[in-house]
Structure 1
Amino acid sequence: MKQMKTDQIPLFVPDIVALGCEICAVGDFGCVIGDADLSLHRLEAIQPQLRRLDQTYGCRRHLKRQIIAYLNSVGRYVDPAEDSPVMPRH
């Protein structure tokens, strides 16, 4: 299976955001893609595009720490220590 490269992270994040999905780091231990926040109609419409991005970039599990660091560096993070974390809107 194809694997994402470190230098593709800054390309991957805006590609996800362009589909209307928020992507944020959760502290220093995880990250989420907010496709669950979309309406069912919108989610069904972008599913083929999400699959295409998966094919384009490949597996990214091995880059989890680097993706989290990148998301934190560009202000796309949720602090789980806050009472009511809110994903940033860019």
Structure 2
Amino acid sequence: MEKRESGRLMLESEIPAFVDAVIEAGCDICAIGHDAYVLGDLEEMDAAADKFDRINEVFGDRDFLLPKIVAYLRSLGRYLEPGPSPGHWSDNKKAH
């Protein structure tokens, strides 16, 4: 999936709305460790390709917010630690 630049920079205050939009698009967004996040698996992302075009238009460039997005996802408990067979983020206890 190609990310289209809208020329707009996403605001830090828009992170919760961005995460909600990705979830509503049908993708299981989660942080991986403390340095990355994934929007979902390939099937989810393919099915939501048109919705992602709209999400990219609405929110714009967010690459510079990577650490903040990861921190927000971790605060929701939507994270996996790298390693063998990490399971699913929903296996986490509570958000911290």
Q: Please indicate the TM-score interval, normalised by the length of the shorter structure.
A: 0.7 to 0.9
**2:22 paired with 1:16:** yes
Structure 1 residues 74 and 62, CA gap change in structure 2 (3 angstroms): same
Which residue pairs with 1:87 in the alignment?
88
Alpha-carbon distance change, 79 to 7 in structure 1, aligned in 2, over 3 angstroms = same
User: In structure 1, what is the Cα distance between the partners aligned to 2:45 and 2:36?
Assistant: 24
Match of 2:76? 74
Shift of 1:85: 1.1
Whose helix proportion is higher, 1 or 2? Answer: 1
The match for 2:59 is 57
Distance in 1 between the 2:86 and 2:72 partners? Answer: 19
Post-superposition, which runs of at least 4 consecutive aligned residues in structure 1 deviate over 3 A? Answer: none
Structure 1: 5+ residue stretches without partners: none
User: Equivalent residue for 2:3?
Assistant: none
Contact (CA 8 Å) 1:24, 1:87: kept in 2 or not? no
Q: Shift of residue 15 of structure 1?
A: 0.8
Gaps of 5+ in 2: 1-6, 91-96
**3-state secondary structure, aligned to 1:71:** helix
TM-score normalised by the chain length of structure 1? 0.84
The residue type equivalent to 2:37 in the other structure is: C
- Residue identity over aligned pairs, in percent, reads 35
